[in-house]
Amino acid sequence: MDKRPAGRLQVATMDDATTRLAGALAAALRTPLGGDVRIEDLRRLTGGASRETWAFDAVVADGALRPLILRRDFADKGRPTLASLIGIDDDLDRRGEFALFQTLANAGLPVPHPVAFPDQLEELASCFVMERMEGEGLPQRLLREETYAEARRIMPTHIGTVLAKIHALSPAELPHLPERTPARQIDIVRRMTALGPAPRPVFELGLRWLDERTPAAPPQRLVHGDFRNGNFLVGPEGLRAVLDWEYAHIGDPMEDVAFVCLKPWRFGKVDAEVGGFGPRDLFYRAYEEAGGGPIDPETVRFWEVLANLKWGALCVARAMAHLLGVQRSVEAAAIGRRVAETEHDILELMG
Amino acid sequence: MADDRPNTEELIETVRAFLHDTLLPTMSGHGAFEVRIAANLLAIALRELQQGPAAAAAVQARLTALLGTHDTPAALDAELVRRIRDGEIAVDDRALHTHLREAVRARLAISNPKYLDK
C-alpha cells in the first residue's frame, strides 16, 4: 500500500511536460497578473475529447491565490481532428474562443472571466487561461446528489432565462464566428455519417427527413453549439456558469433549445427532458418570458433529429478511432454500441 | 476442444462476473468507471452470442420481403440506403419504418435492454 498523502503523490508524479508547462505559465502570467507568479497544484482534469483542460492556482506577489483553468488544444498536432476529416476549417480556435469569453463576460452573461491569452511560448500554443469558478459540473452528481435537489427544481427555469440572454446578443457586437445555416449543418452531419464503415439506413432516412424540413430563413443569433448538461457549472442554488464555447457559431437559436433536451444529455433521467433536471414546459416558458423565441415545436424537432444524427455519427467515429488504434479505451468501444440508442431516438422523433 | 468446459459463453460470463463482482468493489475513480464498462461490454458480447444469430436472420427475412430481392445482410442494407437516398422509398413509408424499428429493437435487446423499458 502506498501511504503517501495525496498531495505528495501528485508532486512525485508530475512529469517533465507538466513541469515545463508550469514554468511557461509562470512566465506568461507575469504581465496579466501584474508581477511574479508561482504556479501550484497544476493538474489535468478528465473529460474533453478534443481539448485539454488543466486546473492550477497562481500565487501572486502579495500571496493572494488565483484559482485558474487552462484550456488548450491537444498537444498531439499530428492527429487529424474530426473537423479536418470532414473539411471544416472555420471552427473557433482558442483565440476566437477567448475573444468570445471576453464579450460574454462584458455583457454580464454567466461565464468564467477570461484572464490571459499567452501565445508567446511553445508550451502554450493554442491555449487560454480563465478564472476557475466554484461549482459542480458532473451530470451524474447534479442529477443524483441531495445537495443539488433545489438546483434540479430551478435549473429548467435558469437554463431558459440564460439561453434567452445568450440569444439576445447582437451578432454585430460579437467577435467573428462561423456561420452555420440549417443547410450547412445538414451538410456537416452528412459528411460525418459518410465517415462510418457501413451504410446505416436510419442515418440515411434521418438525412432525407431533414432535407424535407429545412427551416427556410431562421433568425441568425449566437448559438452556443454544445448547450447541455455537462457544460453547466451548478451550485446548490442553481446555474452559475455556461462553459465550453468552442462550438459557438451564428445560426438558428432553436438549435440550442433542442440540444439541451436531447436524450443522451439526460444521463438516465429520461423523463426529465431538460438535461435530466426537469420538464420542458418550465424551460420553454422561462425562455419566452426572458425574451427568447417564440418556440416552434416542429423547428425544435428538426434540430433534435439533426443533433441525434450528429451524436450517432460521433459514436461511430469514436468507435472507429478505438478500432484503428488512434484512441483506444473501453469507453470508446462501448460508445460504438450506443449507436442503436441514437437510431431508436431518431426513429421515435421522426414518428 | 468443443466439449471442454467452461465453454465460450461460460468463459465470458466468468470474466464478466470477476470484473463486476470481485474487481470492481476494490476500485475507485476512473479505474472503477472503466472496469464497470468492461464488464458491461462482456455482457453485451454474451447476449450477442445468445441472441445475435436469430435476430440477424429475422432482420434479413424482413429486409428481403421489404426490398423483394435476395442478398447478403450487408448488401441488403446498402440497397436499402440507396433506395432511401434516391427517393425510391418515401421518407414516411410505414413498412420501412416498421422494419427499421424492429431492427433497432433487436440490436438494443443486445446492447442495452434497459433502454427499451424507458
**pLDDT tens string B36-78:** 999 999 999 999 999 999 999 999 999 999 999 999 989 999 9
State which residue of chain B sits closest to A212, comparing Cα positions.
B91
Q: B76 CB near a chain A CB, below 8 Å? A: no
Output the CA–CA distances (angstroms, integers) from residue A38 to A12, A35, A52, A67, B40, in the order listed: 18, 10, 21, 12, 45
The residue of A205, A269, A339 whose CB has the most chain B CBs within 10 angstroms, and thus the best one to mutate to test that interface, is: A205
The answer to whether position B1 is within a domain reads no
Question: Residue A278 pairs with which residues in a beta bridge?
Answer: A274
User: Which residues of A fall below an 8 Å CB-CB distance to B?
Assistant: 46, 198-202, 204-205, 208-209, 212, 270, 329-331, 333-334, 337-338, 340-341, 343-344, 347, 350
State which residue of chain A sits closest to B29, comparing Cα positions.
A46
Total count of domains within chain B: 1
Widest pairwise Cα distance in chain A: 64
Q: What is the pLDDT of residue A35?
A: 87
Does B100 contact A347 at a Cβ distance shorter than 8 Å? yes
Size of interface A-B (CB pairs under 8 A): 70
Phi then psi for residue A145, to 5 deg, are -85, 145
Does A199 contact B107 at a Cβ distance shorter than 8 Å? no
Does A341 contact B112 at a Cβ distance shorter than 8 Å? yes
Does B104 contact A347 at a Cβ distance shorter than 8 Å? yes
Does B104 contact A344 at a Cβ distance shorter than 8 Å? yes
Q: B111 CB near a chain A CB, below 8 Å? A: yes
- Contact between A159 and A278 under an 8 Å Cβ cutoff? The reply is no
Strand order in the sheet with A221-223: A179-180, A249-251, A221-223
From chain B, pick out residues whose CB is under 8 angstroms from the CB of A201: 77, 80-81, 84, 100
Distance between CA atoms of residues A4 and A6, nearest Å: 6
Q: B88 CB near a chain A CB, below 8 Å? A: no
Which stretches of chain A score pLDDT less than 70? 1-14, 46-50, 74-80, 120-123
Q: B95 CB near a chain A CB, below 8 Å? A: no
The answer to whether position B3 is within a domain reads no
Of B38, B41, B97, the CB nearest to A347: B97
Does A334 contact B40 at a Cβ distance shorter than 8 Å? yes
Distance between CA atoms of residues B23 and B49, nearest Å: 24
Phi then psi for residue A58, to 5 deg, are -105, 120
Q: What is the pLDDT of residue A296?
A: 94
Does A46 contact B104 at a Cβ distance shorter than 8 Å? no
CA A64 to mean position of chain CA atoms: 30
* pLDDT exceeds 80 at position B2: no
Does A208 contact B84 at a Cβ distance shorter than 8 Å? yes
Q: How far is A188 from chain B (nearest CA, A)?
A: 17
Q: What is the pLDDT of residue A2?
A: 37
DSSP chain B: -TT-SS-HHHHHHHHHHIIIIIIGGG--HHHHHHHHHHHHHHHHHHHHHHHHHHHHHHHHHHHHHHHT----HHHHHHHHHHHHHTTSS-TT-HHHHHHHHHHHHHHHHHH-GGGGG-
* pLDDT exceeds 90 at position B95: yes
* pLDDT exceeds 90 at position B90: yes
Of B44, B74, B108, the CB nearest to A341: B108
Of B40, B97, B115, the CB nearest to A341: B115
Q: B112 CB near a chain A CB, below 8 Å? A: yes
Of A208, A212, A347, the CB nearest to B101: A347
Looking at residue B43, its amino acid is: A
Q: How far is A198 from chain B (nearest CA, A)?
A: 8
From chain B, pick out residues whose CB is under 8 angstroms from the CB of A213: none
The residue of A138, A204, A266 whose CB has the most chain B CBs within 10 angstroms, and thus the best one to mutate to test that interface, is: A204
Enter the pTM of the model: 0.90
Looking at residue B36, its amino acid is: R
Q: How far is A128 from chain B (nearest CA, A)?
A: 26
Q: In which domain, by residue range, is B63 found?
A: 8-117
Burial class from Cβ neighbours inside 10 Å (0-12, 13-18, 19+) for residue A252 reads buried
- Give tens-digit pLDDT for A233-266: 999 999 999 999 989 999 999 999 999 999 999 9
Q: What is the 3-class SS of chain A, one letter each residue?
A: CCCCCHHHHHHHHCCHHHHHHHHHHHHHCHHHHCCCEEEEEEEECCCCCCEEEEEEEEEECCCCEEEEEEEEECCCCCCCCHHHHCCCCCCCCHHHHHHHHHHHHHCCCCCCCEEECCCCCHHHCCEEEEECCCCECCHHHHHHCHHHHHHHHHHHHHHHHHHHHHHHCCHHHCCCCCEECHHHHHHHHHHHHHCCCCCCHHHHHHHHHHHHHCCCCCCCEEECCCCCCCCEEEECCEEEEECCCCCCEEECCHHHHHHCCCHHHHCCCCCCCECCCECHHHHHHHHHHCCCCCCCHHHHHHHHHHHHHHHHHHHHHHHHHHHCCCCCCHHHHHHHCCHHHHHHHHHHHHC
Of B91, B96, B101, the CB nearest to A212: B91
In this structure, which topology does domain A139-350 adopt according to CATH?
Aminoglycoside 3'-phosphotransferase; Chain: A, domain 2 (3.90.1200)
Q: What is the pLDDT of residue A6?
A: 40
